[in-house]
A and B are shown apart, each in its own frame.
Chain A
């Protein structure tokens, strides 16, 4: 049953994606590889749309992926699956652990969890690279590589600019040159 599986996959994502924003992305690549509900290329498009619309990126992603997989009910089920662990865990923490975030154990665990998130993101990126920079005969496409370098340089130079601007620039580049 697709809805149960959607709920379960996003419940797991909500339970293990810690840190918000891009933290859900590696889990979505994992879902894509295991279930085949959507391709990595489609996932990249969904990331762009989720970054350019209001609301938390993780929620936008869940709704989008759920919708693409099983229509409007799919979007609802995936989103509820994603937030269920949060609600349960926060309610428990609000009751039991007053100084949870300040405890030295939690601090140490996070010190080592954050670099793991870096590795997870790098692997997600690795899956996206051939779709973006390789042509049909596996040759490297020069124009996108140059565009990537320019965009990244600008992003790092003007950090305050919202991601939408860069996504818009990418879209314009695609229409004009690709």
Chain B
């Protein structure tokens, strides 16, 4: 992965990629994806790798790896990355705006409609039921995260400590993230020093 934007930001036809094409392509990906993140990968790959040739499948996986471990929404991080590689900083901004544009339209429309019906008895009942489903979805997200991320005693301690700090001391999520990053750094340098001996 080179640091610079690709030398020749051209598509399969050999033409320079227009910002409009970039915007429309990412808007298309945004509207066709439910859920973002990895759910987006096949659609993004078809558009960006197969149809436009802006990047390769291998590079795409690199972008995902980086998008996952940098702040922000994965889908946005990957869009920014591809946009930057094709048309520099302006491309990064345009690709990201394209990605979020359908969400903004759809959600705004839907939110306005739901607002009109929020006092309707059936809508209220439906949302009471939906809240149950949301709780179950969150629990299943927690379960799959535990399987992936809790591998030994220190990681288990971090998970439990995070919950307790919030429950009893009201520590903000931001401070929690900062502390977890600091703890990770300490563990890294501690491990390195031990390995050095």
Contact = CB atoms under 8 A, between A and B. Distances in A.
Nearest to A109: B184
A72 interface: yes
Contact of A156 (B34, B140, B163): B140
Given A56-B103, A96-B3, A118-B159, A174 B126 contact: yes
Q: Is the interface of A mostly helix, strand, loop or mixed?
A: helix
Interface string B84-115: 11000100110010011011101110111010
A51 B137 contact: yes
A2 interface: no
How extensive is the interface on chain A, given as a class? 35 or more
B20 interface: no
B32 to A, nearest CB: 7
A178 B71 contact: no
Interface in B170-191: 172-174, 176-181, 183-185, 187-188, 191
A41 B132 CA distance: 11
Contacts of A85: 71-72
B76 A59 contact: yes
A130 to B, nearest CB: 11
B183 A41 contact: no
Interface centre among B84, B125, B180 (most CB of A within 10 A): B180
Interface of A: 12, 14-22, 24-27, 30, 41, 44-45, 47-60, 63-64, 67-68, 72, 75-76, 79, 82-83, 85-87, 89-91, 93-96, 98-102, 104-106, 108-126, 128-129, 131-133, 144, 147-148, 151-152, 155-156, 162-164, 166-167, 169-175, 177-178
